[in-house]
Chains A and B, each alone.
Chain A
Amino acid sequence: MPSLHQFCAWLDSTPASVTIKTIGWIVPTVQTIHILSIAAVMSAVLMIDLRLIGILGRDQLIARVSRRFGPVIWWTLPILLATGVIQIIGEPARSLENPVFRLKMALLVGALLVTLGYQIPLRRNPSYWDGRRWAAQIIAVVSLLLWVGIVFAGRWIAYTG
């Protein structure tokens, strides 16, 4: 079975990877789209989590805030994945063999599971979290920490591996 290192070396030599490396504007452009997408996700997450904690917009149901901002997270995810994959193809070893990149992916899985964890109960019962304040606050703090961790890990990929 080929190792990850061999896979990265192969991916690194593909025409797609060579193109991404050769044409100077591709990586900065893709990174800019990636960061703007993160801006959309982070702000949506912040609004939902601050409502879950009870700091913002307490005059409206949690379900309503989640319905307003929640779709932003899921609709932006494909853009983040696509722009992320382009960066991986451009420099496979820098990401796939980098422990910080793996940490970022683990945090992402955790953050998405937490997002599903508060969105799914709301579908059946819109006032589900309004009656469970402590649980809502804990889930919001965990969510915020995970997403903040993702941003820091993302920036640290450039300095590790």
Chain B
Amino acid sequence: MEFDHLLRSLEATSFATAIREGNSLFPWLEGLHVLADTLVIGTIAIVDLRLMGLASRDRSITRLTAEVLPCTWAAFAVAAITGLLLFSSRAFDYAHNPFLRAKFVFMALAGANMLVFHLLGSRDVDAWGAPEQSTPLRARIAGAASLLLWIGVAVCGRWIGFTLARG
């Protein structure tokens, strides 16, 4: 299969080999990946809970997202790079792991949810995003969906380590 061939050539790259065969490169990258993941999920949760009207109500949504989301994106960049490097070390096994696949489905859904809410649902945020103002139903739904999807990402992420088969 063409895709499997691609995965095997990714595994054969020098950096993938170094990560796979080195003693400490993988754990260091994994530590960095987990650190970035916790910050991605945690900072997104701050925004989600604000959209749901459950936390940070004393801060306007616009101001809160302006200070939180740059942290999210920075952490996401680190998570993506370290994730790709970890993936490369055993690309074939990871690509065939059902939990890794589910993790990417959850991330894609979370991204779609964010995009739809950003483009359509939050245009009039100035009308309902002030401190102590209650948020509309669509904001609560978008926040709750995001929270659940990212919890799904974390669940799948942890399960990969317990289910990775050698192929």
> What residue of chain A has the Cβ atom nearest to residue B44's Cβ?
A43
Residues of A within 8 A of B37 (CB): 35, 39
- Contact-size category for A: 20 to 34
For the complex, give the distance between the alpha carbons of A36 and B40 in Å: 11
Question: By the criterion CB–CB under 8 Å, are A42 and B162 in contact?
Answer: no
Q: Are B31 and A46 in contact (CB under 8 A)?
A: no
Q: Cα distance A50–B27 when bound, in Å?
A: 27
Q: Cα distance A56–B43 when bound, in Å?
A: 14
Shortest CB-to-CB span from B98 to chain A, Å, is 14
From residue 39 to 95 of chain B, which have CB atoms closer than 8 A to chain A?
39, 41-43, 45-46, 55-56, 58-59, 63, 67-68, 71
Q: Evaluate contact between B42 and A31: CB separation under 8 angstroms.
A: no
Given A43-B45, A57-B63, A155-B31, A28-B38 contact (CB < 8 Å) = no
Cβ-based interface call for B115 (8 A): no
Dominant SS at the A interface?
Answer: helix
A63 to chain B, nearest CB (A): 12
Q: Which residue of B lies closest to A151 (CB)?
A: B35
**Residues in chain B near residue A56, CB distance under 8 A:** 67
A35 surroundings in chain B (CB, below 8 A): 34, 37-38, 154, 158
Q: Is the CB of A43 within 8 A of B58?
A: no
The reply to whether A32 and B158 form a contact with Cβ atoms under 8 Å apart is: yes
Is B151 among interface residues, defined by CB-CB distance under 8 A? yes
Closest 4 CB pairs of A and B: A43-B42, A39-B42, A39-B38, A155-B31
